[in-house]
Amino acid sequence: MDENTKNKLGVKEDKPNDWFETLYSNSNQEGEGVPWANMAPHPFFKDWIDKYPLDGQGKKALVIGCGMGDDSIELESHGFEVTAFDVSESAIELCKKRFPQSKVEFVQADLIQGVPAWKHRFDFVLEIFTIQALPPKYEKTLIGNISDFVAEQGKLVVITEIRKEERSYENGPPWLLNYEYIKSFEGHGLKLIEQTKNLEAEMGEEIHLSIFQKN
């Protein structure tokens, strides 16, 4: 993204959350102006869950950076008790308006701050494109906080685009991940148990769906 667009959107390295609220507060239930809004579950996630249906009965799931909420509703339809959060209060309000019948708990929270009350609480955690939406200097914190949410033997699914080029603030957003993210999660007690790669990445060289399990 060039400097002009960054300035227009209000992207700032030291206030990395603020532009998301600006974007969603100017949007509506149709997701107007939100570039990543599929208004449906993410296609890569949907293909995977259709192929390998999950039984969420009696299990808790967490959706990180839930955006317009469709992935959370998909997990609810598999029987999970779902909590979904986004840093933008307006995004959360849009989710509640879009899905008034849903039992998903949509809440505002900040992944950079983390949520200590959610430590090791979730059997299934879903992360799609949130790490890459934040500047590289937060990567370690984000990966640590995401790992903390996963319960013993719980699973984490990460969907992210990959690029070999070194991550730097100048190159984003989005700040696509390098392969090293796998080792970082493994350093937090998660083991990569399965990975699907797709070469139809929009901006990077590959898109990954990586499944980790907590030891």
Ligand X SMILES: C[S@@+](CC[C@H](N)C(=O)[O-])C[C@H]1O[C@@H](n2cnc3c(N)ncnc32)[C@H](O)[C@@H]1O
Q: How far is the CB of 215 from ligand X (least distance, A)?
A: 26
Amino acid, single-letter form, for residue 142: L
Q: Is 133 in the site for ligand X (CB under 6 A)?
A: yes
Determine which residue in the list 54, 111, 182, 209 makes contact with ligand X, applying CB under 6 A.
111
The Cα angle at residue 94 between residues 90 and 96, in degrees rounded to 5 = 115
Residue 62 forms beta bridges with which residues? 83, 125
Report the residue number, 105 or 152, with the smaller CB distance to ligand X.
105
Q: How far is the CB of 142 from ligand X (least distance, A)?
A: 8
Q: How far is the CB of 21 from ligand X (least distance, A)?
A: 8
Report the residue number, 17 or 213, with the smaller CB distance to ligand X.
17
Q: How far is the CB of 112 from ligand X (least distance, A)?
A: 5
Task: Give the contact letters, 62-81, x = binds to ligand X (CB under 6 A), - = no.
Answer: ---x-x--------------
Q: What count of residues does the chain have?
A: 215
Of 48-56, 84-92, 145-153, 202-210, which part binds ligand X (CB under 6 A)? 84-92
Instruction: Give the Å distances, CA to CA, from 190 to 115, 138, 151.
Output: 19, 19, 10
Instruction: Return the biggest CA–CA distance within the chain.
Output: 48
Q: Is 128 in the site for ligand X (CB under 6 A)?
A: yes
Residue 89 burial by CB count (10 A; 0-12/13-18/19+): exposed, middle or buried? middle
Cβ neighbour number for residue 14 with a 10 Å cutoff: 7
Structure token pair of residue 92: 């959360």
CB 25 within 8 A of CB 18: no
Report the residue number, 25 or 152, with the smaller CB distance to ligand X.
25
Q: What is the total count of residues that contact ligand X (CB under 6 A)?
A: 18
- What single-letter DSSP state applies at residue 202? S
Determine which residue in the list 27, 88, 147, 184 makes contact with ligand X, applying CB under 6 A.
88
Chain residues in the site for ligand X (CB under 6 A):
17, 20, 36, 42, 65, 67, 86-88, 91, 110-112, 128-130, 133-134
